[in-house]
């Protein structure tokens, strides 16, 4: 069960919109760019980008503790 906690703290439901924008940009770059500027391994780039998003979501939760406590109805 702890593994699920580690996964859900990253807020995986928020990944889908960002993945969509990332993949749309990657597709547009490979389709319309005259230069070859796309990463050699898009799966690795997407994985690293996902880890970065998860880290940003965790950081946001840590920074917003006081704000969340003020807005909580309890």
Q: With 80 as the cut, is the pLDDT of residue 62 above it?
A: yes
Q: With 70 as the cut, is the pLDDT of residue 13 above it?
A: yes
- Give me the residue label for tokens 């960002």: 18
User: Domain map of the chain by residue range?
Assistant: 2-71
State which of 18-22, 26-30, 32-36, 64-68 shows the largest mean pLDDT: 18-22
Confidence category of residue 3, pLDDT binned at 50, 70, 90: confident
- Give me the residue label for tokens 């990332």: 22
């Amino acid at each position: 069960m702890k593994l699920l906690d580690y996964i859900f703290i990253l807020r995986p439901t928020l990944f889908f919109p960002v993945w969509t924008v990332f993949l749309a940009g990657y597709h547009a770059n490979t389709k319309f760019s005259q230069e070859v500027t796309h990463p050699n391994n898009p799966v690795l780039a997407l994985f690293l980008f996902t880890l970065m998003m998860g880290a940003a979501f965790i950081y946001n939760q840590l920074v917003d503790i006081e704000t969340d406590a003020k807005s909580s109805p309890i």
